[in-house]
Structure 1
Amino acid sequence: MKKIVYTIGLILGTLTAGQAQTKLQETNAEMAGVALVGEDMLLVTKKEDGGQYLYTARLGETETKERAIALNAGHINAVVGGNLAAGEVFVYHKSGRREERITKYSWTNGEFVKGEEIPVPRLRNHSYNLGLYLTEDQRRLFIAAELAGSQGYDDLYLSEWNGKSWSRPRNLGKQVNSNQAEFAPFVRNDSLYFSRQEGETAYIYGAALHNGNPGEAVRLTGMVNEKESYNAYFRKSADHTLWVTGTAKEQPRYVAYLLGDLPAAAVAAPVEELVSEPQVEVVPQQIALEEVAPAESEVVAEESVKAKPMRAATPSLVLYNEFNRVHLSLSELAGLSRFLRLQPDGTGFVIKGYSDGYGEPAAKQRVSEQRAQSVKEYIQRYFGAKDFQVEIEGEVLPGKGKAHRKTELYLVP
């Protein structure tokens, strides 16, 4: 137990020891990771309409990026480990439903050279997302997925190589998993790092590892967890810490940061800056007004019934949810924020969440209502000063697919 507590102390202490913070990349496109290969090669993971791809950039080049052709052997590609400082990269490729693998690449003479291929265990994943981290010795594979017996949405699992095949993934338990989604696992020495989604935000956590078993997870302090933001894809080496922070205001914005001194190879080093706490609209305290009793002559003999407001026939805004997800993505939240800023104070809305035809009837109805409730809570949290009047509804649609996983906003005239 003493060793676990001590390791957690190291996790927290090494992130705040007077290191410089540098903005590496900034984009409206969804950034799903950043890795530093060698001294000055950045690999940036971006989600696009056609899949997920790796781009290269040199340190100091914050705008120019090109797709790394050699590393994009599938329509889903991600850096999942390797000895990055030595130029060795493990890349996950998925080209079809059952066509997935991890490939080792080495950065040699200015190009990525393909090496050994490593199999991936077959997973019955109920989540749209999959996160992997393969340790440098290639014997332990940490997995973020929604498999049987999950604590909530995506959980963290461990599969171990026995020389011939991967073991059945083992849930890492309540020490690290919760009823929220855990994702983006990363391991360094005896510490496991990951992100946990909390409503519309996400924060980076760390847990000590002892013989593959994690201690109690703690949220990291300092610059890596910007408040009210989406913080994820944490990576740490002996000299550097990297992560991605996303925000949704007028448009989604993703920023990759590096904590630590830039290598000498980065000639055009970016300007260092501190992460400031974002401006958040404060929800005003609701003050109850004392009603004045009417004069006796004004009392109506028959009590009137308050009619439920009629909503517009068609939605003014349609937001789409990912598979098995209650909360909206940053890009959808940005569209919601733009829409709400245009509405007059006191506007009334009916928010209607939908679930598609996958799953049990009770679960589908619950998800539809949770999607509407999630949007309502976002409005109350960030637009409370505009005093919007909000009601929610939920409905299960028989069809399946993205078109049926949505949340609609109807204006109340």
Structure 2
Amino acid sequence: MKKQYITLGLLLLMTASYGQDKFTKEADKLFENYQYIEAIDEYLKLTESKNANAYVFTKLADSYYNISKMDEAEKWYVKAIQNQANAAVYYRYAQTLKALGNYPEANKQMDIFVSLLPNDVRSQEYKANPNYIQKLNRQYKMFDIATMDINSKDQSDFGAVLTDDNTLYFVSTRNTSQKIDKWVDRPYQDIYEAIRNSNGTFSEPKPVSELNTPFHDGPVTISSDGKTMYFARDGHSSKLYERNKDNVKISQQGIYKATKIDGKWTNIEALPFNSTAYSVTNPSLSRDGKTLYFASNMPGGMGESDIWRVRIDANGYGKPENLGSAVNTQEKENFPFIANDDILYYASSGKQGFGGLDLFKIDLKSMGQAVNLGKPINSGKDDFALTINENKNIGFFASNRSGKDAIYTAIPICSVEAIAMVTNEKTGDLIANASVVILDNKGNSIATKQSDSEGKARYRIDCEKAYAFLVTAPNFEPASFPVQKVKSREVLVKAPLSPIEEIIAFNPIYFDFDKKNITKEGVSELDKLITVMKNHPASMILIKSHTDSRGNAEYNQKLSEKRAQSTMQYLISNGIEKERISGEGLGSSEPRINCTNCTKEQYAKNRRSEFIIINK
């Protein structure tokens, strides 16, 4: 018979245990051998016959899911559910809907999954935080990302890693003379390299010929001295395979070690825990060269694929160790990268994310909760294979958000938590419900929070930029406090406020409906305020601007900010130094008159700018 070569990767399948019979035998054989493209053709034929049932629809949907054709997967999961699918199908359907950005419908399917399997870990996690997408959307940005010119036009590129000598290694299927992998209907992947220039551009990629074979090679990880490489390779290349009952050669991915001598990679050797029974792939070497992290579906794991590690010493390799439930789930965990500070980055489809594979990080020293890296590095598609060169402050990851696997740069954003602790300067007592405005280096208001019962207000800030806190509280003088630039995890800013000696309150000024302009009546009141401020040159003023409740929250917020700006500009144009003025727009969140069916007069009273002036 014709020779066939099949490599079993790590995207293992969620198969249903019902409905398989002699009519699906040929399609199932292709599916089980990861030949999804050909399996789809066979299952499609079955959908048009009297043998079409939930099993056929599910396998067809799974086939499309595993080649990331989510629109088609969704269509056939719907058909499967209409024909009494099992719980696993509802879960996979929910994942598909997330990948398509339909989060409300995904939650409905998860509700059904939870009702069918209430004790499942995935059910318990979902019940604990069903609206996690909203939280992820509000999460601070950890990376700036950009596309790269080294990507091929229509082939798959991923697994980029930059060495300290500016060599970028990555994996690509751009060699169209290679054999075709029937799993994804693309050529087998090769290892490539490109040189990063001083201006940040890259040279034309070229294959690393001494590492490439007719089958899959890569991704790679490089030792800190650049002399040792560990890389994934298809078992066919080293004749590490088994034949199934149809005489098809079935191989697994394994990890291999190579040494760089005279500019070439040589002395290639297989690691001792490679196997024909399971895959070992996607290695990442610790900076000290003593621990190798990898992904595998070897026995003792928790899900379809897990993250493992193995110790390396002078005598060889220890016993592979599963990283446990803090890292791994019942789904897929893959593409580990270990950073210098024992922070593990990896991809997971089993933790709460935007859809497909999402990128996470976890501190292996504390083994706390894994953190989703958020947008823009994560999307509704597969996002994976993140690596970071910390010496050069640049990272790379892969995503199929454009329709194919492509490499993106990921520049880490240095961020810290800045904490204002508000106290009474004279007594030392904590002050709750103080207004803490964070200002940028130009004095512009970014956001406002209230101090909590411990007198603290917390902000996530860029550690490379200058900020200040403007703090106000009833019966205290407002004050500003600079935020020191630091690269630690947090910076505590003590914000003691002095009890006020004298408060001069002014009447609010009012605005016409949907307008930001200062009215004639408003000018009269502001002129009184200007006179007082000029007579008290050490005084400061806080402006709070509001709208009525008509209009949506976003529009009202922007309108109130415009009213605050026009009020501030009037004062500045009449000789009041801008450093003495701060303002914020509060939209319709703090009405003077809280009404539902407001009268015209009540609406008018809520459209205002209010002032507090402190005379020192």
Scaled by the length of structure 1, the TM-score of the pair is 0.49
Greater strand share, structure number: 1
Higher RCO structure (Cα 8 Å, ≥6 apart)? 1
Greater helix share, structure number: 2
Scaled by the length of structure 2, the TM-score of the pair is 0.34
